[in-house]
Amino acid sequence: MNPTPLARLRHLGPALLTALAACHGDPAIDDTDLHADTDGPRYATEFTVVTVDGAATAATQLAVQACAGLSNRTLGGSIYVSRGADDEAWLDTLGVTASRTIDAAAFLAECGAAFPTCVRYDYAAQQRLLPAVLSAAAANGAVPLDVGMDVPCGEVVFDATTELRDATPHDATKLVADRWLDQTTGLAMLNPGYDQSGANNTNPAIVRDMAPALVDLVFTRRLFVTFLVNGCVAGDPERDLMQSIVDRGAWTNPIEVYGYNNSWNVAGGYLYEAQTRCLESRNMGAIASETYHLSFLSTRRAPITDPSELVHTEPEALTYDPATTYVAFVIGDGDNIAYLQSTRAAWLRERLDACAADPASCAPLTWSISPHIARLAPDLLAWYFTTSHETGKDTFILPPSGHLYAYPTSLSPEAQDGFIAATEADARLLGTTGVVHWDWLDSWQDAQTTFLPKYAKKDGAVRGLFAVNVPYLIEPFPSWPADKFYEVLEGADGGSVVLFRQREWRGVDGTGSAQEAPFRLTPASMEAEIAGYPPGTVTWVYMTSDGGLNLQNSFMALTKLLPERVRLVSTDTAAALALEAAAR
């Protein structure tokens, strides 16, 4: 294995050590600090903001993110890359101020001195091979430099322009895996710029530049990056290669796949986005993380591992009333860390303003949130909990499908056990008893009878399972009568868990096909539906923004219309009430 960046720095001269100190914006760093052995992570006391113009070349942006990742790998939380006002606003939200700000050109010059090895490639000619190029560079702690870039490089540790000349993505991935797979810590999938429309899934055209999102974390964590468009297609050599990589990788089980697999768009859904059904091993799930700043956020402080570090809002203490209708509303897509950094944060701020303006209409609301930000962005997780606690009505639920975006019933038996254990640990950390559960359209019966009862333990952390079918709008439980909203599942030791029927709300314009229209109801139509539920009903609604729904035009409008006998509750309370009702 190559030496770690810190170990490698011990062989550099005083001039490069000084350059690294400048790169980190920490004049207190000296030769003694960098040569000292450490037993754990090192955190910067100051950090530098690097500004990069969105119009900069893709190669420049990739190099900047790679350098940020290498810097934060060496000294945690030392470099923050800003691409505009939104990025600067997050620094204000988190209450941190940089010691200095430099532009991309100056940063790359300093980075080239601090990290003097590089991987050479030709962006224009080798864009399809960028995942392999990034893997080679991350594994070697080297900077990926396009042949046209004027950035210092003391030693070329891998020259893709010669070693990968005329290579296919398959061959480039195999070569890099054979050399450096055992030096990586996990797997990521990043699209180098392929067409995502589904016009030609087997051989899509390159139609855009590669986005630099997540590249910083790739370099901090030494992730192996791949994007083989036919890597999940049975009989294709790319799938055989993917299986060999997964088999050889000394990673978690199930394997946590960073980024996003947006290949094979069929009828508006990506067949393999959850990763689970990609390979025969059935041991992968996704961490939707194609976003920015995770290198900085994950290294500037220790992860959150103790529930007491979070400010929890206790769920409502209610006794079931058969004359009342109970409904829990969930803000969806919280598995996507990019959403947590953007729209969902904006919605939470809107929610606080609305509750402050009219406390009487501030009804309970549950937010789905990725458990992985406890380690990838612990400050972000703490902000969500502290901020939501201001209303006293906002709680959290694990997003689809618990620990990973996966189709858990399709996982191998060994991966299922690991998945459930990890999900239970996540639930205890976040202080929730609920999980939004996604499965593939043909596996719901097995989910109901075989997989989901595994959560039904007397001492289990999970009490409510809230079903959503993906990627298509198909009823998971077609045999259930219309007035059946949940079923109680019994476990081997006599424990119980509640499985709730699917109900989604994606838009509010009241339009769409016969299949789509029920998911795009106006607030008035949604009110009429809920008011028509039989008294004593306990149910839920999952809200996503892919049909134009936002917090103001849906939930906030609906709460003013609901009749008095309808009570909105958190998902934790909904699960408890359903169990109480079923026991009567």
- 249 three-class SS: coil
| Cβ neighbours of 228 (radius 10 Å) | 22
pLDDT tens digits, residue range 345-378?
A: 999 999 999 999 999 889 999 999 999 999 999 9
How many whole angstroms separate alpha carbon 518 and alpha carbon 475?
12
Q: Which residues pair with 216 in a beta bridge?
A: none
Same domain, 347 and 251: no
| pLDDT score of 472 | 77
pLDDT at 513: 87
DSSP one-letter code for 206 = B
Q: Is the pLDDT of residue 447 over 80?
A: yes
359 φψ region: left (φ > 0), alpha (ψ -120 to 50), beta (else): alpha
CA 213 vs. chain centroid, Å, equals 12
Burial of 390 (0-12, 13-18, 19+ CB in 10 A): middle
Tens digits of residue pLDDT in 11-24? 233 333 333 333 33
pLDDT value of position 197: 95
Q: What is the pLDDT of residue 37?
A: 38
Task: State the residue for tokens 């550099």.
Answer: 12
Kindly provide the residue ranges of all beta strands, DSSP E only, lying in 472-545, ordered along the sequence: 486-490, 496-500, 504-505, 538-543
Same structural domain, 236 and 198: yes
Q: Which domain holds residue 460?
A: 328-582
Out of 248, 283, 299, pick the residue that ends a domain.
299
Residue 539: partners with Cβ closer than 8 Å, 6 or more residues away: 326, 327, 328, 485, 486, 500, 501, 503, 533, 574
Q: Is residue 306 part of a domain?
A: no
Does position 29 have pLDDT exceeding 70, yes or no? no
273 is a domain residue: yes
pLDDT of residue 226: 98
pLDDT at 127: 98
Nearest residue to 376 via CA among 324, 308, 298? 298
Q: Which long-range contacts (CB under 8 A, 24 or more apart) does 485-490 make?
A: 485/533, 485/537, 485/538, 485/539, 486/538, 486/539, 486/578, 487/448, 488/578, 488/579, 488/582, 489/448, 489/452, 489/453, 489/455, 489/456, 489/465, 490/453, 490/456
Is there a domain that residue 323 lies in? no
Per-residue pLDDT at 123 exceeds 50: yes
Average pLDDT in the 168-180 region? 98
Q: How buried is residue 311: exposed, middle or buried, by Cβ count under 10 Å (0-12/13-18/19+)?
A: middle
Domain-embedded: residue 428 = yes
Domain at 495, CATH number: 3.20.20.490
> Tens digit of pLDDT for each residue in 291-320?
999 999 999 999 999 999 999 999 999 999
Segment 140-159 shows an average pLDDT of: 97
**How many domains does one find in the chain?**
2
Q: CB-based contacts of 303: which residues, under 8 Å, 6+ apart? A: 374, 375, 378
Instruction: Tell me which H or E stretch contains 468.
Output: strand 464-469
Residue 74: its H or E element:
helix 58-74
Q: Does 516 fall in a domain?
A: yes
Q: Are residues 363 and 505 part of one domain?
A: yes
Among 248, 279, 299, identify where a domain stops: 299
Q: 336 and 254, same structural domain? A: no
Question: Which residue type does 405 have?
Answer: Y
- Give the 3-state secondary structure of residue 340: helix
Using one digit for the tens of pLDDT, what is the confidence trace for 195-219?
A: 999 999 999 999 999 999 999 999 9
Q: Which of 299, 319, 349 is the last residue of a domain?
A: 299
Please determine, for residue 536, whether its predicted confidence score (pLDDT) is greater than 90.
Answer: yes
Kindly state whether residues 31 and 121 are assigned to the same domain: yes
**Has residue 320 been placed in a domain?**
no
Cα–Cα dist 177/245, whole Å: 7
**Does pLDDT of 64 surpass 80?**
yes
For residues 332 and 436, the answer to whether their CB atoms sit within 8 Å is yes
Is 29 in the same domain as 133?
Answer: yes
**Which region among 244-253, 469-478, 516-525 has the lowest average model confidence (pLDDT)?**
469-478
pLDDT for 25 beyond 60: no
For residue 245, what pLDDT band results from cuts at 50, 70 and 90? very high
Cβ atoms within 10 A of the Cβ of 14, count? Answer: 9
Give the span between the Cα atoms of 245 and 329, in whole angstroms.
Answer: 41
Per-residue model confidence (pLDDT) at position 470 = 76
Return mean pLDDT, the chain.
Answer: 92
Contact 3, 184 (CB under 8 A): no
Is position 266 within any domain?
yes
C-alpha to C-alpha distance for 307 and 304, rounded to whole angstroms: 8
Whether the pLDDT of residue 389 is over 80: the answer is yes
Domain match, 284 and 357 both = no
Q: Which residue has the tokens 């239970």?
A: 424
Residue 138 has pLDDT above 90, yes or no: yes
Residue 550 has pLDDT above 60, yes or no: yes
Claim to verify: residue 366 and residue 288 sit in the same structural domain: no
Residues 30, 137 share a domain: yes
For every residue of 359-417, DSSP letters joined together read GGG---EEEE--TTHHHH-HHHHHHHHHHHTTTS-EEEEB-TTSSSBS-GGGS-HHHHH
Contact 190, 214 (CB under 8 A): yes
pLDDT in tens, 264-279: 999 888 999 999 999 9
Query: Do 253 and 384 belong together in one domain?
Result: no
Q: 515 in helix, strand or coil?
A: coil
Tell me the pLDDT tens digit for each residue of 327-337: 999 999 999 99
Specify whether 225 is located in the same domain as 366: no
Query: Does residue 202 sit in the same domain as residue 345?
Result: no
The residues near 55 (Cβ < 8 Å, ≥ 6 apart) are none
Does 543 have pLDDT greater than 90?
A: yes
* pLDDT bucket at 487, cuts 50 / 70 / 90: very high
Terminal-to-terminal C-alpha distance of the chain: 61
In a domain, 460, yes or no: yes
pLDDT at 39: 61
At 30 the pLDDT is 33
Report the percent of the chain where pLDDT is more than 90.
88
Q: Tokens representing 127?
A: 């864009």
Q: What is the pLDDT of residues 568-578, one digit of tens each?
A: 999 999 999 99
**pLDDT category of residue 474 using cuts at 50, 70 and 90:** confident
Averaged pLDDT, 550-571: 97
Tell me what pLDDT residue 4 has. Answer: 34
Calculate mean pLDDT across residues 117-140: 98
Q: State residue 36's pLDDT score.
A: 33
